[in-house]
Amino acid sequence: MLRFIRISRLLGDKAVERLSGASVLIVGLGAVGGFAMEALARSGVGHFKIVDFDIIGLTNINRQLLANESTLGKKKVEAAKARILDINSAAVVDALDLFAHEDTLETIFDGKIDIVIDAIDSLTPKLALLEGAYKRKLPIIS
């Protein structure tokens, strides 16, 4: 795919194919999660499951990629999904408007996941996510 030709030159065609087939779970779409999502989308990752319960507010603009005048008041998962698809319209994005905790882990971990990006800023949900990934033997970046 022409849009990822520079990634292909850097990593090789097989790596781009792997990225295209990869399924990434990102939990938390604030400062850390938003930038991770952007980099992965621009690298050609083909499948995303994104999770956040929050709405973009004015105080997010100074540090969060998804926060700008046009996204104020929108759900972070909706803004993130739109941004991913603006970068790569062939991507598959499952957007979950959920708070990560023990009761929502089954939904969050449902389906194919190759790697988990933990970008949660609260300790209890972070620990639940880490434990859930560990139990499922999923690699996690936290």
> Residue 2: what pLDDT?
81
> Residue 117: what pLDDT?
99
pTM score over 0.85: yes
Q: Which of 102, 111, 97 is nearest to 130 (CA)?
A: 102
Q: Where are the domains of the chain?
A: 19-141
> Residue 103: what pLDDT?
96
Considering the domain 19-141 in this protein, what is its CATH number?
3.40.50.720
Q: What is the C-alpha separation between 141 and 116, in angstroms, rounded?
A: 6
- CB-CB contact of 109 with 101 (8 Å): no
Q: Report mean pLDDT in 10-residue bins for the chain, 142 residues.
A: 88 95 99 98 98 98 97 99 98 98 97 99 97 98 97
Which DSSP string do the residues of the chain spell out, in sequence order?
-GGGHHHHHHH-HHHHHHHHH-EEEEE--SHHHHHHHHHHHHTT--EEEEE---B--GGGTTT-TT-SGGGTTSBHHHHHHHHHHHH-TT-EEEEE----SGGGHHHHH-S--SEEEE---SHHHHHHHHHHHHHTT--EE-
